[in-house]
Amino acid sequence: MLTSFTTWLWFLSKVDTFGASLMRLAIGIVFLWIGALKFVPYEADSITPFVANSPFMSFFYEHPQEYKAHLTHEGELNVEKRAWQTGNNTYGFSTGLGIVELLIGLLVLSNPISRRTGLLGGALAFGTPLVTLSFLITTPEAWVGALGDAQHGFPYLSGGGRLVLKDVLMLAGSLTVMADSARHLLRESRA
């Protein structure tokens, strides 16, 4: 029994290299998929509260203070609200962000071809959650609103807040990816 447990521990101690590759793939998938969705109005609409309340991004919108009256639900088509979002530069900003996210995903996945671009992708993937996690501080919609239930405000995360909190995993995973790229670069420089 102890021998099989020791064998299992030995096996687990060796999967970190595979884990870094799997993490790289996971980060790449997330950035590519969500980046591609940034070209679709419903995704652009859904990030409006985060962008409008961000001290780092609100300047991209024409009327960030007015966003609440123009929000839609996923799958909802409201022509008037979509027209407002167009005039607000919601879709222009989202398209630009999508391009950046697609680029980060490709850079992260490029690691087997170029460790340097893989390292750059890991660094950009690490920096992204530093911005998005700030939404927990800047965006009122990250917390359950006071609509009558006793559980609202901090620490009760809304759906959007729970989505943002998951970026802690992206932060940690990106560090692993950067370390793996750096390790390979150091080995290559010694060879």
How confident is the prediction for the chain on average, in pLDDT? Answer: 94
Q: DSSP per residue over 156-183, as a string?
A: -B-HHHHHHHTHHHHHHHHHHHHHHHHH
Beta bridge pairs of residue 157: 143
The pLDDT value recorded for residue 185 is 93
The pLDDT value recorded for residue 16 is 77
Residue 3, in any domain of the structure = no
Domain that holds residue 100: 19-190
Q: What is the 3-state secondary structure (H, E, C) of 117-129?
A: HHHHHHHHHHHHH
Residue 72, in any domain of the structure = yes
Phi and psi at residue 145, to the nearest 5°: -75, 155
- Work out the percent of the chain whose per-residue pLDDT is above 70: 99
Structure tokens at 138: 């800047």
Residue 37, in any domain of the structure = yes
The pLDDT value recorded for residue 2 is 66
pLDDT band at 17 (very low <50, low <70, confident <90, very high): confident
Q: d(Cα 151, Cα 158) in Å, to the nearest integer?
A: 11
Residue 5, in any domain of the structure = no
Residue 161, in any domain of the structure = yes
Residue 181 contacts by C-beta under 8 Å, 6 or more apart in sequence?
A: 111, 115, 116, 118, 119, 122
The number of distinct structural domains making up the chain is: 1
Q: How far is CA 10 from the centre of its chain?
A: 33
Segment 150-163 mean pLDDT: 92
Overall residue count recorded for the chain in this entry: 191
Segment 12-22 mean pLDDT: 84
Residue 14, in any domain of the structure = no
Note the pLDDT tens digit of each residue in 115-130.
999 999 999 999 999 9
Residue 116, in any domain of the structure = yes
Segment 46-75 mean pLDDT: 95
Residue 4, in any domain of the structure = no
Q: d(Cα 148, Cα 31) in Å, to the nearest integer?
A: 37
Whether residue 166 has pLDDT greater than 80: yes
